[in-house]
Structure 1
Amino acid sequence: MIILVCTESKQTIFQDSSEKLWHDGEEMRINNNFQKNANTSLVAQAIWRSPGISRVSIAKELSLYRSTVTNIIATLMEWGIVHEAEEGESMSRGGRRPIILRLNHDFGYVAGLDIQPSHYRAVLLDISGRVAWSDKGMITGIQSFDDIVTHLMDIILSEVEKLGRPLLAVCMGFPGIVDSKNGIITYAEPFKLMEFDVHDYFRQRYRIPVLTENDANCTAWLEMSEHRMENPCDFISIIADYHEGNHYFHDNSGIGVGIGLSIDGTVYHGGHSAAGEFCSLSWRKDSLGQTGLPSELLVRTGYDEEAWKIWFQDLFSSLVSVLAIFDPSVVFIHGKPFSDENKIRADLASLTPQFNAILEKIGCELKFNANDEYVVAKGAALMYLHKLFSVPMVSERDVRTHFDWDDVMTQARRNPKTYRK
């Protein structure tokens, strides 16, 4: 039997009898476990993207035999991941109405953490992506990065215990260069971290899978997930945030910006995991931050209109060439500094008309999602769900942060009292 499996951007064919995989015209060996996980992810993804879909519609959408879909759905229901809901509309020619399928909101939670030197934001999402709990606070009196993580994990585990559902994974977003495939913070200047192995740190202390990501990239994961019912497009996600500084880390107050890139339906990290690390046109070799602007000016951007205009013009004029080269379909705008959409659009028109001109030239849309302060935390958790409901590349099987459905079920069945080692 040959099963045709279509992902968002690639086509893969699984041939059961010989356990071979043809991918982009090349023949590679695979095992039955990879094949099983790939088909399970595709069916689960169809339900995630279209809540209330029927077995018949899934089989038609994925070009799979109905018996194949029925068997996979039976497994997902046995695991408690999917449940049958109310009946859908009857077919045009009459007959029995199809039973619709939804993800089980009570299956478990994914924790998302946005960790900054001066503050944090945290969420728990169910596997459909709905927010079950959220929290935010200042980071004061904590003198090490280890202590920050321990403090936040205490909060998360306490809340999970109250909710009485499994914790499937913890996903963290940080400012800086993050090797997300290996779970390593390569360099986070605000925390003065270099080559910090978050994956190993967690493995020594907790029995919980952990994923790490750059904070701006988390916003890209969020946008991909929130627009998962649409055809994937290439886009840029921009986030800015004010930070008050933390003298324990010698972090300065001011304003910072990050950029996430999505290409062909996935986040692009670059050759050194540093894609999206922004440097403006004013930046020079001896500049301390992202720009060549004085640090005292950056501190004033939150209340001094002239300082704001200088920073704003420096940022958006620097992005003109990026848009011209990258040719995205959408630019998403996030973060408190951009919360007043009317003002931002007016400032773009008056201060950087060339930015609007390049948007028009390449046919790029500007969309705002700047009033949700939990975008990084949500995006971190949605990264896990996006990976769970996607067919992995064969090359990803050897990445140490890779997980499959067997890993998910092992974690879902784990005794919460054993989360801490």
Structure 2
Amino acid sequence: MERYVSKVNITRVLRTIYLTHGLSRVEIARILDINKSTVSKIVSFLEELGIVETAAVGEAGPTGGRRPLHLRIRADWGCVMGLEIQTEAFTVVGVNLQGEVFFSHTEPLDLRTVSLVDAFIGIVDRFRPSLENTGMPILGIGVGLPGFVDPVRGVLCASMPFEQYEEINFVREARERLGIQVPVLVDNDANCGCWGELAFRHSSRPGNFIFVLGEHRKHTIAMDNHRIMALGLGLVLNGQVHHGETFSAGEFRSILYKEDQVNQFSISDDQARQFLQNSRVNEMIVDELARHIAFLVNILNLRKVVIGGPIEVLADQIQKAVRNHAQTNWAYPQKVDFEMEVSRLGERAVAYGAAGMYLERLIRIPSVETGTEATAAVGIDLLPQVGQQNQLVRR
């Protein structure tokens, strides 16, 4: 038997255990169509790393024999730091490998006095001890930012909220100065909402959905007098977060938008400032937003709509309006069938999803293709411990 095991198969086994807890080696071999002895070798390797453990001992079959050992990811083997940086505040969370938040903190941040990368370094240096004092080493850091983000290169391409229109090589600059050898991943804030839905849903992962992120914040870092509702959309199509050709997918401005306004809707800026304070303004925003969501639900045949951020307080109104507009604009007799949910972590949804982005990359099957996408580390290459045991693995 070959001494080495491919990283592709190791990641496939790790992914299967992560998504479906309690499987035995025999069940994994059957699901993946891999020889049982190969699966056993991979599981032994993952157990040596400590990331996989036996969850329970199953019952023997009708003919007797050895009882199967059920496997699971060890929740406390390591943790992920998730971070959202916005125009006037940041949120940082610590998440274990089962998706449980064990640490959370939010506070104001003034990016007029400190650069984005400097702010990031300061946050990591400040909160890293709090996470690692739990005994779980940080395996990776995920960051959600507003604007166009290229997650493969780790670049913030442009951000109106940050008043930044030239590229910032965020990941490269951050890693050069951070001083710790862990992966740093970055994506758009609404896309991070999508990552959270994918990473922590396990066996019930939705394949086609939209994440609607609505936050009440300063429009840009310099505009103190324009604290309004900012809206972004994240799309998942066929199980993949959709970024678009220039990474601008999900950037929202209403088709009814009026020129020379700051807010994204057809209402006046004076009205927009009253969001969440004036019920009539809330109704106008909800109706206009619902029309756009319903259009996308019908056009793309989406199966789910997830509402995240402070806009969750209007979730019932949004749900009713979206369903009404989706059905009104549907030409067939069948009812438009889709689910609507509220994100599980409210204002922490972006930071939580940023942590989920790392876990999604960890269980992503390495590509055999060439090019930029293939060069981004995925699968067990994201685990620094693997390099210490590379005598077992090959490409």
**C-alpha distance in structure 1 between counterparts of 2:341 and 2:355, whole Å:** 22
Once the two structures are overlaid, the 10-residue window that deviates more, 265-274 or 280-289, is 280-289
Instruction: Find the counterpart in structure 2 of residue 313 from structure 1.
Output: 287
Asked if 2 retains the 8 angstrom alpha-carbon contact of 1:111 and 1:156, the reply is: no
**Which moved further from structure 2: 319-328 or 295-304?**
319-328
Q: Which ranges in structure 1 are unaligned for 5 or more consecutive residues? A: 2-15, 17-31, 414-421
- Give distance in 1, aligned partners of 2:43 and 2:370: 25
Query: Aligned pair in 2 of structure 1 residues 190, 67: CA closer, same or farther (>3 Å)?
Result: same
* 2:126 match: 155
CA distance in 2, matches of 1:89, 1:238: 45
Partner SS for 2:91: strand
Describe the shift of the 1:92–1:129 C-alpha distance in structure 2 as closer, same or farther (beyond 3 A). Answer: farther
Choose the corresponding residue for 1:182, options 153, 159, 165: 153
Kindly state the Cα deviation for residue 220 of structure 1 after the two structures are TM-superposed.
1.0
Q: Which residue of 2 aligns with 1:127?
A: 97
After TM superposition, the structure 1 = structure 2 runs for residues 193-342 of structure 1, keeping only pairs within 5 Å, are 193-194=164-165, 195-206=167-178, 207=180, 208-230=182-204, 232-244=206-218, 248=222, 252-284=226-258, 286-342=260-316
AA aligned opposite 2:11: S
Shift of 1:281: 1.8
Asked whether the equivalents of residues 323 and 358 of structure 1 are also in contact (C-alpha less than 8 Å), the reply is no
CA distance 1:246–1:319, change in 2 (3 Å) = closer
Quick check: 1:408 aligned with 2:379? no
CA shift for structure 1 position 377: 0.9
Question: Matched residue of 1:189: which SS?
Answer: coil
Q: Secondary structure at the match of 2:264?
A: coil
State the Cα deviation string for residues 9-37 of structure 1 (Å, max 9, x = none).
xxxxxxx9xxxxxxxxxxxxxxx99x812
Letter in 1 for 2:168: F
Cα shift at 1:151: 2.7
Question: Structure 2 regions of 5+ residues with no counterpart?
Answer: 389-395
Alpha-carbon distance in 1 for matches of 2:369, 2:267: 42
CA contact (8 A) 1:142 1:148 kept: no
Could you give the per-residue CA deviations for residues 287-344 of structure 1, whole angstroms, max 9, x where no partner exists? 4343343222111011011111122222112233322221111111222222354444
SS in 2 for 1:355: helix
Distance in structure 1 (CA, Å) of the matches to 2:234 and 2:225: 23
8 Å CA contact 2:24–2:69 kept in 1: the answer is: yes
Residue 96 in 1 paired to residue 96 in 2?
Answer: no
* Root mean square deviation, CA, Å: 2.8
- Label 1:378 to 1:62 Cα distance change in 2 as closer, same or farther (>3 A): same
- Stretch of structure 1 that moved more, 50-59 or 141-150: 141-150
Give the corresponding residue for 1:76: 46
Asked if residue 43 in structure 1 is aligned to residue 29 in structure 2, the reply is: no
Question: SS where residue 149 of structure 2 aligns?
Answer: strand
The answer to whether the aligner puts 1:390 opposite 2:364 as a matched pair is: yes
Deviations 1:143-185 (A, max 9, x none): 2223421331123322134223321111100111111111111
Tell me, yes or no, if the aligned pair for 1:396 and 1:402 is still in contact at 8 Å: no
- Structure 1 residue 80: deviation in Å? 1.5
Distance 1:412 1:378, change over 3 A: farther
Alignment-mate amino acid for residue 48 of structure 1:
Y
- Describe the shift of the 1:412–1:303 C-alpha distance in structure 2 as closer, same or farther (beyond 3 A): farther
Tell me the equivalent position of 1:26.
none
Q: Distance in 1 between matches of 2:379 and 2:31?
A: 23
Distance 1:94 1:333 in 2: 50
Equivalent residues of 1:114, 1:377 under 8 A apart: yes
CA distance in 1, matches of 2:130, 2:119: 17
3-state SS in 2 of match to 1:191: coil
Q: Deviations over 1:74-123 (max 9, x none)?
A: 11111121122331233355443211112122322111111111222111
CA contact (8 A) 2:345 2:352 kept: no
- What residue in structure 2 maps to residue 373 of structure 1? 347
CA distance in 1, matches of 2:271, 2:386: 48
Write the distance in 2 (CA, Å) between the matches of 1:321 and 1:84: 47
